[in-house]
Chain A
Amino acid sequence: MVKVIKVGMADLQSSVHPCIITTLGLGSCVGVALYDPVKKVAGLAHIMLPSSQQARNNSNIAKFADTAIVKLVQDMLALGAEKSRLIAKLAGGAQMFSFVDGSSEMLRIGARNVAAAKEVLNSLKIPIISEDTGGNYGRTIEIHSEDGKLKIRTIGHGTKEI
């Protein structure tokens, strides 16, 4: 039996092989999956907001792109991963509703989450090898520790592996 670990909204988890780490119903939130292919250490963060700097309450570091990714990397290094080997895959960051005044900050939060996650990964020099972001639909994702593949399920937009 492969251990399945669930990640909630504003949450992050990591584990060594064998495991599947999953998060359900990603909307505007972005899922950041990290993987060390040699040690087979996998990690997943379900990020709600781009930056802890703009928030009045930033005690939950798993909530923000800037703090969550740094914490996830630390956790994975503690499990034996090597930072230079880490690779990243991104999914989510959709815009579920499109209102007439589509300019409002809340509605573009998906795109801002993706941009923030990329910026943080770049600054940590972790290569982003694939992504399935944007659109107007939700995603359930799972990272497999066996080979680092990220499986994505949707309603009405098929399933894929990246």
Chain B
Amino acid sequence: MVKNINDLNSIHIDVLKEIGNIGAGNAATALAKLLNRRIDMDVPRVKIMEFRDVSETLGGAELPVVGIMLKVTGDFTGNILFILKQQAAEILVNMLMGRPAGDSGAAEGHVFDEIEISALKEIGNILAGSYLSSLSALTNLNIAPSVPDLAIDMAGAILSVPAIEFGKVGDSVLYIETEFTEGDKRVVGDFFLVPDVDTYSVLMNALGVSF
């Protein structure tokens, strides 16, 4: 019998939250070192959403966002998505490149050049790498991220990408979401780990929880 999202009980959800906590904690530390600034994170949320609600999360389906996506491969598979509002991405790039940390205030949104885009991808790389390495240390599983790719587009269109895989097995998708904020509470972005349904059992077993 193949397991599904509906088979997760409250203990499993707590395990997933804890995974988010440890992974995101490590990722926040890495980002703080990179930017030489204080980075805070909220308590990770395990979101189980019906497909029809997915696009409206994060403040609207048409909200323009920067999405950095990586595939997770190894013993455990899934997707990682780091989503930033346009303005936050601009601030982040400026911090990383040692420029004044404001945004240009352009109404249409800043147009990112090639160097800025690769800087953003690198941030995705570092966050995903540190998130997964702590997860790997915790579980003894072999987990590796792919090369990141970036899209600047509607939040709904970007969030639908990891959701589609779930369509084959059910009518909802599970995201482990953590919000990162910079020292003065400007939101940096939302980090999503979206484990494939088929690997829930791998994850649970590695942590000694039956599923």
B69 touches A29 (CB 8 A): no
Is A2 at the interface (CB under 8 A from chain B)? no
Given known pairs A63-B51, A106-B165, the reply for A153 and B160 (CB within 8 Å) is: no
Between B2, B51, B167, the greatest number of chain A beta carbons within 10 A of the residue's beta carbon is seen for: B167
A156 to B163, CA, bound (A): 24
Is B42 at the interface (CB under 8 A from chain A)? no
Closest chain B residue to A64, Cβ basis? B167
A139 to B152, CA, bound (A): 13
A: number of interface residues (CB 8 Å):
37
Minimum CB–CB distance for A55 against chain B, Å: 5
Number of A-B contacts defined by CB within 8 Å:
123
B152 touches A156 (CB 8 A): yes
Chain A contacts to B: CB under 8 angstroms: 8-11, 24-29, 48-49, 54-57, 59-60, 63, 94, 96-101, 104, 106, 109, 136-140, 153, 155-156
Ordered by A's residue number, 28 sampled pairs between the chains whose C-beta atoms are within 8 Å are A8-B51, A8-B55, A9-B54, A9-B156, A9-B160, A11-B52, A24-B61, A24-B62, A24-B156, A27-B153, A27-B158, A29-B160, A63-B51, A94-B157, A96-B67, A96-B151, A96-B160, A97-B69, A97-B161, A99-B146, A100-B146, A100-B147, A104-B71, A106-B165, A138-B157, A139-B157, A140-B61, A155-B154
